[in-house]
Structure 1
């Protein structure tokens, strides 16, 4: 299998962290791809041009983070990312949906900030900042429930990547302010080798 990724993408980082936490990394070749590039080596496999893209041995390309994480659970790893069918799975999927939603909103916020100032939408910026703070406040209140008890599952991996993105590539968001429990949680997960091995580059935002 081949995983096409970008070093700055938190969506791709979640898959890269998961590969390390499940001990599946030796079965996958990680290939960094350029984005928004008509010559990108990713495009023959995924014409949409987005990462992560996991190319399976039969040539099938999986192109969404949640879909890829779900697929990894079919490969016989000793550590599952999501529980099998049942109430625990629905709860985990609900938590995963929340943090993916947080990441989607931050991505919109970040892209808006990358526009020249006169083209930015104050309404979009205000909406996404409010959304991010609302979700982060809920996570602060639930911090004990997110505590690690062994290798992280899919929701915790994605949340760690969201906050890592805010630390390195969306620093305009002061997510730690007023959220000491969430900050302490992130410090713990960020120290794991799977996270230290996939730290994204710093951005100017």
Structure 2
């Protein structure tokens, strides 16, 4: 297998954490690639025509892409239990919440990096942050018991999302008013799989 990734991507980090948590790191070649929404020339478009990361090539089938698809594949490959049938809808919803936080946070970065300064929209950026804060509030209010349970893909997604907020939006202090979530993340971030995949610019 080959995993095409960027160390700054929270979506790729999900896959890297999943590789480690399922004991498959030694079975995958990690291929570092670089690109932007405006320039996909360095991206693995032959494996993902959308020109996005991550993408996973397989020796026994076509390449797959989207972090949710890749993580589900890696879990099924080792029957690792990160998508437990007994709470599958909760796990998938929590994973979607983490991914939604990442989506909004990445779009905020792109607004500043990819648009000329005179065409940037502060209102649009704040609308993305509003999505993040609503999701954080929901995690604190409704998901603490799930986060405290056995490791699953939902927890990995949320952990990577919160790590990305620290990485790219640390000045916004997402922890304010989210004491329970912040305490959970402080412990989750100490997992070896998280420590080994801390994002870098």
Q: Find the counterpart in structure 2 of residue 189 from structure 1.
A: 188
Q: Find the counterpart in structure 1 of residue 44 from structure 2.
A: 42
Deviation at 1:160, TM superposition (A): 0.5
Q: Are the structure 2 counterparts of residues 40 and 91 from structure 1 closer, same or farther at C-alpha, using a change threshold of 3 Å?
A: same
Q: Tell me the TM-score normalised to structure 2 length.
A: 0.89
Greater percentage in helix: 2
Q: Structure 1 residues 107-116 or 93-102, which shifts more?
A: 107-116
Q: Find the counterpart in structure 2 of residue 2 from structure 1.
A: 2
Q: Are the structure 2 counterparts of residues 124 and 89 from structure 1 closer, same or farther at C-alpha, using a change threshold of 3 Å?
A: same
Q: Is residue 71 of structure 1 aligned with residue 61 of structure 2?
A: no
Deviation at 1:143, TM superposition (A): 5.2
Q: Find the counterpart in structure 2 of residue 14 from structure 1.
A: 14
Q: Tell me the TM-score normalised to structure 1 length.
A: 0.87
**Which consecutive aligned stretches of 4+ in structure 1 deviate over 4 angstroms post-superposition?**
none
Distance 1:18 1:42 in 2: 21
Q: Find the counterpart in structure 2 of residue 83 from structure 1.
A: 84
Distance 2:117 2:90 in 1: 41
Q: Find the counterpart in structure 1 of residue 99 from structure 2.
A: 100
Q: Structure 1 residues 135-144 or 20-29, which shifts more?
A: 135-144
Q: Structure 1 residues 12-21 or 140-149, which shifts more?
A: 140-149
Distance 1:144 1:53 in 2: 31
Deviation at 1:38, TM superposition (A): 5.4
Q: Which runs of 5+ in 1 are unaligned?
A: none
Are the counterparts in 1 of residues 3 and 31 from structure 2 also a CA contact under 8 Å?
Answer: yes
Distance 2:108 2:129 in 1: 7
